[in-house]
Structure 1
Amino acid sequence: MLAALKRYPPAVRLLLTTTFTLTLARALTLPYLVVYLADNFQLPVSQIGLLIGGALIIASLLSLYGGHLVDTVRNHTLVIASTLVFALAFIGAIASRSAALFFLCLVLINLALAVVDIAAKAGFCALLPVDERAEVFAIKYTLSNVGYAAGPLLGVAMLELDDHLPFIASALIGLGMGLAYQRLGDRGLQGDAPAQSGAGFAQVALGLARDRRLVCFTLGGVLSAVVFGQFTAYLSQYLVVTTTPSEAARLVGYLVTTNAITVIALQYLIGRRISRQRLMPWLLAGMGLFIAGLLGFSWASTVPMWCLAMLVFTLGEIIVIPAEYMFIDLIAPEHLRGVYYGAQNLSNLGAALGPVMVGFALGHWWPGVIFYLLVLSVILAGVFYWRGTRRY
Structure 2
Amino acid sequence: MLAAIKGYPASIRLLLATTFALTVARALTLPYLVVYLAENFQLSIASIGLLVGGALLVASVLSLYGGHLVDTVHNHTLISASTLIFACAFMVAVASRTAWLFFLCLVLINLALAVVDIAAKAGFCTLLPLAQRAEAFAIKYTLSNVGYAAGPLLGVAMLELDDHLPFFASALTGLGTCLAYWQLGDRGLQTTAVTEPSAGFTQVAVSLVRDHRLVCFTVGGVLSAVVFGQFTAYLSQYLVVTSSASEAARLIGYLVTTNAVTVIALQYLIGRRIGRQKLMAWLLAGMALFIVGLLGFAMAGSVVAWCLAMLVFTLGEIIVIPAEYMFIDLIAPQHLRGVYYGAQNLCNLGAALGPMLVGFALGHWWPGSIFYLLMLSVVLAGMFYCLGTRNS
Matched, 1:328 2:318: no
Please name the residue that 2:268 is paired with.
268
Given residue 75 of structure 2, which amino acid in structure 1 is its aligned partner?
Answer: N
User: Are 1:353 and 2:353 counterparts?
Assistant: yes
2:123 maps to what in 1? 123
* Structure 2: 5+ residue stretches without partners: none
Number of corresponding residues: 392
Q: Which residue of 2 aligns with 1:234?
A: 234
Residue of structure 1 equivalent to 2:42: 42
Cα deviation for residue 199 of structure 1 reads 1.2
Q: Deviations over 1:234-279 (max 9, x none)?
A: 0000000000000000000000000000000000000000011110
CA drift of 1:23 comes to 0.3
1:105 and 2:105 correspond: yes
1:311 alignment counterpart: 311
Q: 1:162-181 residue pairs with structure 2 within 5 A?
A: 162-181=162-181
Q: Which residue of 2 aligns with 1:197?
A: 197
1:3 shift after superposition: 1.0
Q: State percent identity of aligned pairs.
A: 80
Contact 2:123 2:191 in 1 (8 A): no
Cα distance in 2 for residues equivalent to 1:58 and 1:241: 30
C-alpha displacement at 1:174, in angstroms?
0.1
The one-letter code sitting in structure 2 at the alignment partner of 1:340 is: Y
Counterpart of 2:7 in structure 1 is 7
Q: Report whether the alignment pairs 1:91 with 2:68.
A: no
Task: Write the distance in 1 (CA, Å) between the matches of 2:362 and 2:29.
Answer: 29
The alpha-carbon deviation at position 167 of structure 1 amounts to 0.3
Q: Which residue of 2 aligns with 1:187?
A: 187
Letter in 2 for 1:296: G
The amino acid across from 1:150 in the alignment is: A
Give the whole-Å Cα distance in 1 for the aligned partners of 2:390 and 2:213.
Answer: 8
Corresponding residue for residue 69 of structure 2: 69
Letter in 2 for 1:220: G
Amino acid at match of 2:341: Y
Gaps in structure 1 of 5+ consecutive residues? none
Contact 1:73 1:191 in 2 (8 A): no
Which amino acid is the alignment partner of residue 2 of structure 1?
A: L
Contact 2:63 2:114 in 1 (8 A): yes
Distance change in 2, residues 1:367/1:132 (3 Å): same
Shift of 1:197: 2.7
Q: Which amino acid aligns with 2:192?
A: D
Q: Distance in 2 between matches of 1:195 and 1:271?
A: 33
Amino acid paired to 1:318: I
Judged with a 3 Å threshold, the aligned counterparts in structure 2 of structure 1 residues 288 and 188 are, in CA distance, closer, same or farther, namely same
List per-residue Cα deviations over 1:80-114 (Å, max 9, x = no partner). Answer: 00000000000011011000000000000000000
TM-score by length of 1: 0.99
Equivalent residues in 2 for 1:206-285, closer than 5 Å:
206-285=206-285
- Paired letter, 2:237: Q
Tell me how large the CA RMSD over aligned residues is: 0.8
User: Distance between the aligned counterparts of 1:326 and 1:89, measured in 2?
Assistant: 32
**1:391 Cα deviation (Å)?**
2.6
Residues 289-320 of structure 1, C-alpha deviations (whole Å, 9 max, x = no match) = 00000010000010000000000000000000
Deviations 1:136-155 (A, max 9, x none): 00000000000000000000
Segments of 4+ moved more than 4 angstroms: 193-196
CA distance in 2, matches of 1:127, 1:192: 12
Matched with 1:55 is: 55
The answer for the alignment partner of 1:136 in structure 2 is 136
Q: Please give the alpha-carbon distance, in whole angstroms, between the structure 2 residues aligned to 1:238 and 1:164.
A: 32
Q: Is the contact between residue 287 and residue 382 of structure 1 (CA under 8 Å) also seen in structure 2?
A: yes
Give the TM-score normalised by structure 2: 0.99
> Quick check: 2:87–2:170 contact (8 Å CA) kept in 1?
yes
